[in-house]
Structure 1
Amino acid sequence: MAKKVSDAGGGRSQAVHRALKRAIIDQALPPGAKLPEDSIGERLGVSRTLVREALVRLSQEGLVELRPNKGAAVARPSLEEGRDLFLTRMALERLVVETLSGNLTREQIDTLSAHIAGEEAARTEHAASIRLAGEFHTLLAQMTNNASLIRYVNELVARSSLILALYGRPHSSECAVSEHRDLLDKLIAGKTEEAAALMAHHLDSITARALLPTENSIKDVLATYALAEGLA
């Protein structure tokens, strides 16, 4: 049994939160998975109190559901919630682009370039690829130095992983890396409208991959079958 350790300075509580959040974003803990405090505490070597604190924080971020008399579980957002999430994310990330366009420092450019290189190196690792793709967006938000924008983008990017885990098509890492590189180039050049349009297209692709219904979705679903039957 792992030894329970104290939480001097809150460091252990933060570590528990980060460990659980990463497991959820990596889809190692899928939507709906139960999160028993005793099992988590034993595995991470911390008290149930610290686990409970982390779960409460994750519930505030929309990643965990705290169910009375049933314990905690990874959240299962509805398609309607997902639709609202991506609409909000598009608006906020346009603001990120407008804030950063033409204003990136050399250090920030180097940081983003290194991150994109890391994405490229992880293309064959499904969980790492998804996590790094999301972290690119949170990294951009952090560079705005706008505390509210950073908080909301972080939460929306994390919740996007739940939508994709529940309803999503396979992740295309090559597309994400290419678009991230193009976006960085436009931000460096100060091409604000082009960067905003590319970000919108990029997030549209993520939304489509999340299988959010559109009026044409039935056509997309039946296209392959129509071709197979000679109806196309």
Structure 2
Amino acid sequence: MSDQTTLTDAVHTLLKRAIIEQALKPGMRLPEDTVGEQFGVSRTIVRHALVRLQNEGLVVTRRNRGAFVAEPSLEEAKQIFEVRRALEREVIRILVERLPDSGFDQLEAHVRSEQSVKGKDGPVSIRLAGEFHTLLAELTGNAVLSRYVSEVVLRCSLIMAMYARTHSSDCAVDEHSQIIEAIRTGDADRAMTLMDHHLGAVAGRAELEKKPDSVSSILSHYGKELAQ
């Protein structure tokens, strides 16, 4: 592997983490020269890393304006969650059939990592929660399924940065433990039901259904001025 490829991998990984941990917000511009200066690499390296992020749906390029952190629309967000549910049900089905004991060890070690940051660091807990689902997919041994799950999980993290009201790491970790236990007992129906409920709760926090503003809520702000 060349030095250039290694550097591209490193810049890609760091930028991805900054996006998922919500340090780089949706809509932020990512100038190649600025990114290159901060990481001490050439603009060519940065460009290659940004292309990879664009292929993963985390970055968009605008003509004559450069690269920006993606801003998924509500419709796109709903579609991504629909696909994620379908993919993760298939992950559960495969794991119930053929997950070795070493897989349970890896999943439980990951949950311990999630528990260690409960209530401490929101951005890190969001990243770890996503990585739990990516690990589940990797443990199927199906590289194609794993790649697709990884992409939708990353894009869901971006959606959460845009639309989520809150992130409850307590709920996420508890639900992850329940999913592991259902897979261990070979109860595919229960594991899928838990996963559906879990992803439904995540989507619920993202407020993907636009609520129309009522006249009363719009005018309440103006009414306060009148009362002064």
User: TM-score, with normalisation over the residues of structure 2?
Assistant: 0.90
Tell me the C-alpha RMSD between the 2 structures: 1.5
Deviations 1:11-53 (A, max 9, x none): 1110010000010000100000110100111111111001000
Conserved? CA contact 1:66–1:72, under 8 Å: yes
Q: CA deviation at 1:65?
A: 0.5
Q: CA deviation at 1:105?
A: 1.3
The secondary structure found in structure 2 opposite 1:101 is helix
Q: How does 1:54-93 map to 2 (within 5 A)?
A: 54-93=49-88
2:156 aligned to 160, 174, 180, which one? 160
Q: Distance in 2 between matches of 1:190 and 1:66?
A: 45
Q: CA deviation at 1:147?
A: 1.5
Aligned to 1:190: 186
1:118 aligned to 102, 113, 116, which one? 113
Q: CA deviation at 1:204?
A: 0.3
Conserved? CA contact 2:30–2:66, under 8 Å: yes
Conserved? CA contact 2:88–2:195, under 8 Å: yes
The secondary structure found in structure 1 opposite 2:98 is coil
Gaps of 5+ in 2: 217-228
Conserved? CA contact 2:99–2:140, under 8 Å: no
Conserved? CA contact 1:63–1:74, under 8 Å: yes
Deviations 1:137-191 (A, max 9, x none): 0000011111211111101000111111111111000000000000000111110
Runs (4+) off by over 3 Å: none
Gaps of 5+ in 1: 1-6, 223-232
The secondary structure found in structure 1 opposite 2:68 is strand
Q: How does 1:202-213 map to 2 (within 5 A)?
A: 202-213=198-209
Deviations 1:195-225 (A, max 9, x none): 00100000000111110117xx569xx9xxx
The count of residues paired between Structure 1 and Structure 2 equals 212
Which letter maps to 1:37? E
Aligned to 1:180: 176
User: TM-score, with normalisation over the residues of structure 1?
Assistant: 0.88
The secondary structure found in structure 2 opposite 1:66 is strand
Conserved? CA contact 1:102–1:191, under 8 Å: no
Aligned to 1:170: 166
Asked if 1:20 corresponds to 2:15, the answer is yes
Q: CA deviation at 1:103?
A: 2.3
